[in-house]
Structure 1
Amino acid sequence: MSPRAWILFALSSVIWGVPYLFIKIAVDAGLAPAFVAWSRIALGAVLLVPIAWRRGALRGLRGRAGAIVAYAACEVAVPFVLIAIGEQYLTSSLTAILIATMPLLVALLSVRFSPADRPTGLRLLGLVIGLGGVVVLLGLDVAGRRDELLGAALVLVATLAYAAAPIIVRRRVADLDPLGPVAASLVVATVALLPAGLTALPHGVPGPAALGSILVLGIVCTALGLVVFFQLIAEAGPSRASVITYVNPLVAV
């Protein structure tokens, strides 16, 4: 990878390792998972849309509505909600370990949908070894309770959605200014999840820990994180970009 790609990789590794902790804090503080997901997405949209508008980044989206909706579903709406629900039953480190299966899923999807990024047998072996290393380093503490298994299943579905997102970027919108697709996808996800967010509004003013978590999730993990990761996908390809999930668990712990 180029020096720029390595910088983007390092930034993404840290930024995408942080959410699991703050989602856990917000949910444990009493905020509903649907509200946590919707509020971070809405905050990210409020921050990025004006910037994208001023830069003219939204003009390039004409004719790509389908790609934006698919990206919004796979990168934002579906995983944010499922992970927030799943983390009610899982630790943040276990959540990160489950999401570390993403590179393998990206590799498998690339065989069919992104031939240019089709992995070699050696790379697949390396991905399996890398995932094994993550599990060994962090330990796989699974009690096998029904609620824990449900949480794990939800996070794995979210991971499959995450795996599809970089391929959508690579095939359909990698040539655009990242601010345009990211801002538009956040608007789509905000509108799509609005009913769920409104039905899950907190009864009172959230405490400092919950509010702080939402701010970090919206500003750093959503607005900044999506833009940086989008650039990494365009620079290094979906397979290499997804390997950040091998580093995320170390941050999540």
Structure 2
Amino acid sequence: MNKSAIAVCAFLGVIWGSNFIFVKMAAAFISPLQITLLRVLFGFIPVLIYAVFTGAMRREHCKHAHHFLVMSLLATALYYFAFAEGTALLDSSIAGMLGGAIPLFTFLCAWLFLRSERLTRLKTLGIGLGFLGIIVVAKPWSAQGGIDPKGIIYMILGSLSVGCSFVYAKRFISPLGLPPVALVTYQIGIALGLLTIVTPLHGIGAVFDDTRAWVGLVFGLGLLGNGAAYLAYYFIVDAVGALAASAVTYIPPVIALLIGFLLGEPVTASAWFAIAIILAGVALVQLSGNQGAGRPAAKGI
């Protein structure tokens, strides 16, 4: 991997890893659905500008609008909403750790819906380790009730949604040969339209009463976390391939855990153990076969 690709991987890891604390800050002022709407809005702006500048969009792409609709739901609207709900209910460090399990759900979806994926012993071990890590995070045996189970469920649903989006993209989007930038633009744009319809706007301006909250939402989650990160991710895929690009998934949960620790969240020894075995599980699944072959879905964390 060349120096440019390494630098972009580091950028993505830091940006996606810090997304959870930005969601947490914004959740003190507006609802998770409103956070999702604003995140998608400000993420759409740089992507649209880049797509127009490069001439990636074509009128003939409209015939694939049904595929873009599915991707907008799985890889953007439902995914971000579930993660926003989960992060609002959990410590940002815990939410970030659970976000690191996305590749496990991606493989499970691929195994269920794609005939080309086989469940080997190594992958089975990896999935088992990953879910063991989730159990350690959730601590169902604890009588203190420190972890909100609804938050855990929302994070799992978000990971499952984006996992399904990768499978859908591999089966229906990759064969179309569309420019990645065009796909991202259609996907985010449709998601923005859907979210605008269903999101109550009353009180949404409250987030702009707090400088840290709106700066994190607009720049951290939107312009960087969605817009710039999408474009950077496809740079990595084009430069080193999908399998090597998947290495970036190891960075965000560690960054999220460190940020939570530095901000005073209760990061215990069991949390470090949990993130270690989740990432070990992800590594086993990824190293035992390239489930990311083909054009990936547009994603963020």
Greater gyration radius? 2
* Compared CA separation, residues 73 and 135, structure 1 to 2 (3 A): closer
**1:131-210 to 2 correspondence within 5 Å?**
140=137, 142=139, 145=145, 148-174=148-174, 175-202=177-204, 204=206, 205-210=208-213
Indicate the larger mover: 177-186 or 191-200: 191-200
Q: State the one-letter code of the partner of 2:199.
A: G
Q: Distance in 2 between matches of 1:226 and 1:87?
A: 21
User: Are 1:227 and 2:226 an aligned pair?
Assistant: no
Q: State the one-letter code of the partner of 1:188.
A: I
* Compared CA separation, residues 236 and 129, structure 1 to 2 (3 A): farther
Per the TM alignment, residue 179 of structure 1 is displaced from its structure 2 partner at its CA by 1.3
- Please list the CA deviations of residues 178-205 of structure 1 after superposition, one character each: whole Å capped at 9, or x if unmatched: 2111111111111101134343443544
Q: State the one-letter code of the partner of 1:224.
A: A
Q: Which residue of 1 aligns with 2:37?
A: 38
- Please list the CA deviations of residues 56-88 of structure 1 after superposition, one character each: whole Å capped at 9, or x if unmatched: 211163432122111111111002112212222
- Please list the CA deviations of residues 128-173 of structure 1 after superposition, one character each: whole Å capped at 9, or x if unmatched: 44676x779xx73756749811121111111100111222333333
Q: Distance in 2 between matches of 1:135 and 1:153?
A: 11
Q: State the one-letter code of the partner of 1:170.
A: K
Indicate the larger mover: 196-205 or 66-75: 196-205
Segments of structure 1 that go 5 or more residues without pairing to the other structure are: none
Q: Which residue of 2 aligns with 1:81?
A: 81
Q: State the one-letter code of the partner of 2:168.
A: I
Aligned length: 247
Q: State the one-letter code of the partner of 1:185.
A: Q
8 Å CA contact 1:26, 1:36 repeated in 2: yes
* Compared CA separation, residues 157 and 14, structure 1 to 2 (3 A): same
Per the TM alignment, residue 6 of structure 1 is displaced from its structure 2 partner at its CA by 6.4
User: Are 1:211 and 2:217 an aligned pair?
Assistant: no
8 Å CA contact 2:104, 2:130 repeated in 1: no
Q: State the one-letter code of the partner of 2:185.
A: A
Q: Which residue of 1 aligns with 2:50?
A: 51
- Please list the CA deviations of residues 206-253 of structure 1 after superposition, one character each: whole Å capped at 9, or x if unmatched: 31011111121101111122233455567644x776664443210112
DSSP 3-state at the match of 1:58: coil
**Percent same amino acid at aligned positions?**
21
Segments of structure 2 that go 5 or more residues without pairing to the other structure are: 258-301
8 Å CA contact 1:170, 1:233 repeated in 2: no
Q: Which residue of 2 aligns with 1:121?
A: 121
Q: State the one-letter code of the partner of 1:223.
A: G
Q: State the one-letter code of the partner of 2:54.
A: R
8 Å CA contact 1:79, 1:158 repeated in 2: yes
* Compared CA separation, residues 200 and 149, structure 1 to 2 (3 A): farther
Q: Distance in 2 between matches of 1:135 and 1:244?
A: 20
* Compared CA separation, residues 250 and 148, structure 1 to 2 (3 A): same
Q: State the one-letter code of the partner of 2:230.
A: L
**1:62-101 to 2 correspondence within 5 Å?**
62-101=62-101
Q: What TM-score, normalized to structure 1? A: 0.81
